[in-house]
Amino acid sequence: MRSRLRCPRCNYEFEYRWIPLASFTSIRFGKKRYIRCPRCHGWSWFNVWDTRIDHEGTDEH
């Protein structure tokens, strides 16, 4: 899975590659990831689910 994220600190857009967990729907905070921006190296929470680029195999809601 890939997501296009925008850093809230420096406004830098970057692609983030992640692996969806097996039981995605059962994890309360599964949509959010704590990710380090490659530009300013600041840590922020990102909703990688709503910003995902790849859509195959994501029929779960």
* Residue 4 lies near Zn ion (rule: CB under 5 A): no
Q: Per residue in 27-58, is it b (16+ CB within 10 Å) or e — as a string?
A: eeeebebebebeeeeeeeebebbeebeeeeee
Assess 10 for contact with Zn ion (CB under 5 A): yes
State the nearest-atom distance from the C-beta of 42 to Zn ion, in Å: 5
Nearer to Zn ion, 35 or 52 (CB): 35
**In contact, 3 and 31? CB cutoff 8 Å:** no
Site residues for Zn ion, 27-46, by CB under 5 A, read 37, 39-40
Residues of the shown chain interacting with Zn ion in the complex, contacts defined by CB under 5 A = 7, 9-10, 12, 37, 39-40
